[in-house]
Structure 1
Amino acid sequence: MRPARRTLRMCAAACTLILLLSGCAHMIDGKAVSSFADPFRVGGLQAVDGPTGLRPDAPPPDREVKDTDGGRIDQLAAQSVSDLEAFWTTTYPNSFDGDFRPASSLLSWDPARPRGTFCRSRTFLLVNAAYCYLDNTIGWDRRILLPALRRAYGDMAIPMVLAHEYGHAIARTAGITKRRETPTLVAEQQADCLAGVYLRWVAQGDSPRFTLSTGDGLNGVLSTMLALRDPLLQPDETIGDNEHGSAFERISAFQFGFTEGADSCRSIDAEEIEGRRGELPVQLQQDQTGEVAVSEDSVRVVVEAMNILYEPAKPPQLSFDAGAASSCTDARPSPPASYCPATNTITVDLPALQAIGTPNRDEKLATLSGDNTAYSMLVSRYLQAVQVEHGGLVLDNATAALRTACMTGVATTRLSQGVTTSNGGIIALTAGDLDEAVAGLLTNGLAAGDINGESVPAGFSRIDAYRTGVLSDDDRCLQRFP
């Protein structure tokens, strides 16, 4: 956001840095009220927590790894590729023309060692995992990237990364990615989509090697994708040069594959991505630092901007007396921001909101939370007031939680177009703000919370509802989540 002509955005870290997320949202019990958007299902699967990772009785890997050290990372990687090939051997003929072609070889390397090559390049200081189009090989750094992802998100981070890399191989064989013609941005999101197709198979219990719960397990997989997002494009960089996509875009592509299958991956091209982006910012402008500290003044500016956008008959009042939220007679507190219908008041616990909205400056952690993690929570409470004024809506169930996430997405898009406030300042989203909101949806869930701040179990569902709003309008949110 840009209050008073400044930006609220954090410079994202490179893909080798790690995002640490922890689920701390309150969860709602109950029955689904919409067959179209069931709050307790994820792409048709029941949203549950449970075992996630390598099965104790998994068969041994079918593939050998060149230059392996025999350690746990390479073992998991070999199991991942073996599982992927078992999946695609069966699935490929039902999804694409021609025959499935397995990767020619697998290579592991230690980037601290001066010798070694992958895809005609030195592996010294190469912290990455990749698919090589030149010789149909897949390789990974076993010392830094994969161990760090595994420490942060568990064993399933490794199948997620390699499912993406194998996705490149599948897209190339199927002809939906053409090496010299397909932009990097398109190829990367096609691979994300194909990774989603595979991980759906794991989540529904069909993999002989891995399990993946649709609750915390899938949240960890999505968090891995957040960690692998692109850094923000700077003003002197050209959009599309070597772009992989924001976390919002890449998770969207993954969700297409997970929910709709391999056919949806065919439809990802430059035109589709452009339509998904719309007018959302993807590049920092000159003189944008990317962040402005959360303060009482900036909170007031955000609320004023929402008043301008929504023009409620009775704009909600704003209070910074955090203790007052507990006196509300018809809603429970949902710190760091709460809405009370009885008094039409948004109560902000400013220190708590500031803590959420302050980026972690330790680049070894590279947490994605930032200003719009905080402001999306504030905006979601404002949208509770909008829903109250609409009338006739149930506000304390799971459908209401996802409706709020959807409407928060709509507000995100509207704010990206800029709002001029009474003091002449402009508040607007900037590049990367969607990613910060997505991080909040996974870690806290308040932006996908009902009137009491209660959220649904699966971060996948929260993000899906939010994306629906980003790409549509409030009428669509009310139809999908009545």
Structure 2
Amino acid sequence: MNRRRWAGTVFSACVLLLVTSCAHTLQGNAVSVFADPFRVAGMPATDGPTGLRDDAAAPTRTARDTDGGQIDHLAESSVSDIEEFWQQAYPQAFDGEFTPVKELISWDADGFDGEFCDSNTYNLVNAAFCHDDNTIGWDRGVLMPSLRKANGDMAVTMVLAHEYGHSVQKQAKLTRKATPTLVSEQQADCLAGVYMRWVAEGHSSRFTLSTADGLNNLLAAMISFRDPLLKEGDSAAGEDEHGSAFERISAFQFGFTDGASSCASIDPAEIKQRRGDLPVLLPEDQSGELQITEASVRSIVDAMGILFAPKNPPQLTFDRPACADAHSDAAVTFCPASNTISVDLPALEAMGAQSEAEPGTGLTTGDNTAYSVLVSRYMQAIQHERGGLALDSAKAALRTACLTGVATVKMTHAVNTPDGNTIQLTAGDVDEAISGILSNGLVASDVNGESVPSGFSRIDAFRVGVLGDEDRCFKRFP
């Protein structure tokens, strides 16, 4: 068999864990995402039509071996649109002129007679760019229908925008044979974000993308492409890395917000700096799940007290007393008037129940879906003690998400609590928090449990905290 080299979408679901011993900016001009909580990278965050337009321009490309069905029409339209974008955008971003891929290839992973990049396509539930012959292919039978069913037309378009990103980076010489897969994949995520910004701004003749629910669904689909969670000592550890959900969404947001120049800046050093101390592999002797109990909640709150050392620590209660200046029915609430964190334990347990990812979405629930909400309410107590800050506003919601990101990094180092437990986040926990921020938004909510409509903005605020500190959060969201 001939040696083949191809870059494809990793489509997988994984369980994320918490352990205890117990971003149209073709010119690359950065757009502030922080000026207004109701804007996304400078655009209003609004719901609206998302997907293939009713009056969409006809595809200019046709796939080989197509069945002529709806999925292939959507994929052909997507590639045609992506090529229209790069035809005009490439010369502004890179040297030279843009060259389209040689051919598009469609297959059904349940069929036996397909071939792509010198490989039989039976059971190939994937989409990919083949470096060897400059082609792009996709599975119309399993992958694309599941993505479309879960997250709409644009999930299919986004996958192909990512694959086309590999062609763009090859033409622009952003990568070499020695370039790590991790870098190549996150550059492609970023380049997909550049194209999606163009669509969101209304320039596409085929697709629309709303900046609230539409972009939220796109990010949910993107979580599907994160790396599976591996343990230390696993033979696959460090091989063919694509990145966590946090890393891949960050790369996409860089392109959406800052343009193609930000994609070219993604290299091993940048990824290492962005990853920081966040764990990548799960220790072999850890199950990763901390059962949600009254004792575990107290341990988390105690850990926050040790890490942030407030002069007047909030009180913890498992009742739901009336609050004079906040009104929320969430599983965890903070009352400024009494400086009290109230926990509805059964509701918190339900929020943190471990589940398998929904097919095509990648969104999972687990203990850190719940514990991150608890931590976020402690972060509201930190804001309250600082004084002079409104806690019932959109900026307060994003400030809370930012500070929760700060706390998340602090918790990657073991914290020994007075009850004899050791609290420490591990590999996968950040992705679990990201899923919660996108699905329920409570980590990025104010004292009344109200959040902003854009999951993009919520996740971006959380990342500011992960990559910064408390002062940065207060400066970004005054």
Q: Is the TM value for this pair above 0.5? A: yes
Q: Deviations over 1:274-307 (max 9, x none)?
A: 0001111011111122322222111111001001
CA distance in 1, matches of 2:405, 2:359: 30
Distance 1:40-1:234 versus aligned 2 partners, 3 A rule? same
Q: Give the direction of change, closer, same or farther, for the CA distance of 1:434–1:116 in structure 2 (3 Å limit).
A: same
1:61 pairs with 2:59? yes
Give the aligned partner of residue 25 of structure 2.
none
Letter in 2 for 1:454: E
**Amino acid in structure 2 at the alignment position of 1:352:** A
1:328 is matched with 323
Superimposed CA distance per residue, residues 317-356 of structure 1 (whole angstroms, 9 cap, x where no aligned partner) = 11112x42xx111111241100111111111111111111
Cα gap change, 1:17/1:376 in structure 2, threshold over 3 Å: closer, same or farther? Answer: closer
Q: Which moved more, 1:465-474 or 1:349-358?
A: 349-358
* Offset of residue 73 of structure 1: 0.8
Task: Report the Cα offset of residue 315 of structure 1.
Answer: 1.3
Asked if 1:197 is matched to 2:194, the reply is yes
Distance 2:264 2:223 in 1: 23
Change (3 A) 1:247 1:362: closer
Letter of the 2:178 partner, please give it: E
Does structure 2 retain, via aligned residues, the 8 Å contact 1:16–1:127? no
- Cα distance in 1 for residues equivalent to 2:84 and 2:357: 40
1:162-181 aligned at under 5 Å gives the runs 162-178=160-176, 180-181=177-178
Q: What secondary structure, in the 3-state scheme, does the structure 2 residue paired with 1:138 have? A: strand
More divergent stretch after superposition (417-426 vs 469-478): 417-426
Q: Which letter does structure 2 place at the counterpart of 1:347?
A: S
Q: Which residue of 1 aligns with 2:120?
A: 122
Counterparts of 1:461 and 1:311, CA distance in 2 = 29
Count of residue pairs the alignment pairs up? 451
Which residue matches 1:213?
210
C-alpha distance in 2 between matches for 1:16 and 1:420: 34
Q: Distance in 1 between matches of 2:262 and 2:316?
A: 44
SS in 2 for 1:236: coil
1:285-300, aligned counterparts within 5 Å?
A: 285-300=283-298
2:475 counterpart letter in structure 1: Q
Distance of 1:122 and 1:344 partners within structure 2: 62
- Cα offset, 1:227, TM superposition: 1.2
Counterparts of 2:33 and 2:437 in 1: how far apart (Å)? Answer: 23
2:309 is matched with: 311
Residue 337, structure 1, aligned to residue 332, structure 2: yes
Q: Secondary structure at the match of 1:57?
A: coil
Change (3 A) 1:17 1:277: closer
> Residue 185 in 1 paired to residue 182 in 2?
yes
Partner of 1:400: 396
Q: Is the 8 A contact 2:33 2:41 kept in 1?
A: no
Query: Which one of 428, 431, 441 corresponds to residue 432 of structure 1?
Result: 428
Equivalence for 1:465 = 461
Q: Distance in 1 between matches of 2:414 and 2:71?
A: 46
CA distance in 2, matches of 1:313, 1:395: 19
Aligned pair partner of 1:109 in 77, 99, 107: 107
Pair 363,226 (structure 1): closer, same or farther in 2 beyond 3 Å: closer
Q: Which residue among 265, 268, 282 is the counterpart of 2:266?
A: 268
| Amino acid aligned to 1:113 | G
| Contact 1:18/1:148 (8 A) holds in 2 | no
> Alpha-carbon deviation of 1:236?
2.0
Which deviates more from structure 2 when the two are superposed, residues 423-432 or residues 126-135?
423-432
Q: Which amino acid aligns with 2:327?
A: R
Maintained 8 Å contact 1:18/1:364: no
The equivalent of 2:346 in structure 1 is 351
Alpha-carbon distance between aligned partners in 2 of 1:136 and 1:15, rounded to the nearest angstrom:
22
SS in 2 for 1:150: helix
Cα shift readout 1:391-420 (whole Å, capped 9, x = no counterpart): 111111111111101000000000012211
1:337-391 Cα shifts (integer Å, max 9, x gaps):
0011111111111111111111214775764221111111110101111111001
Q: Is contact 1:117-1:123 (8 Å) kept?
A: yes
1:360 aligns with 2:355: yes
Unaligned runs of 5+ in 1: 1-13, 20-33
Q: Does 2:414 correspond to 1:418?
A: yes
Displacement after TM superposition at 1:233 (Å): 2.2
- Do 1:116 and 1:123's aligned partners in 2 also have CA atoms closer than 8 Å? yes
Structure 2 residues without counterparts, runs of 5 or longer: 1-9, 16-31
Residue identity opposite 2:342 in structure 1:
T
Is contact 2:12–2:227 with CA below 8 Å preserved after alignment?
no
Which whole-Å deviations, capped at 9, do the CAs of 1:21-43 have from their partners, x for residues lacking one? xxxxxxxxxxxxx9843201101
Q: Secondary structure at the match of 2:270?
A: helix
User: What TM-score results when the alignment is normalised by the length of structure 1?
Assistant: 0.91
Question: Which residue does 1:23 correspond to in 2?
Answer: none
- Give the residue type in structure 1 aligned to 2:405: G
1:88-133 alpha-carbon deviations (Å, 9 max, x no partner): 0000000001121111111111111122211111101111111111
1-structure distance, mates of 2:164, 2:147: 18
- Structure 1 residue 193 displacement after superposition: 0.2
Tell me what 2:26 maps to.
none
Specify the SS of the correspondent of 2:146: helix
Q: Is the 8 A contact 1:62 1:82 kept in 2?
A: yes
- Pick aligned residue for 2:222 from 217, 220, 225: 225
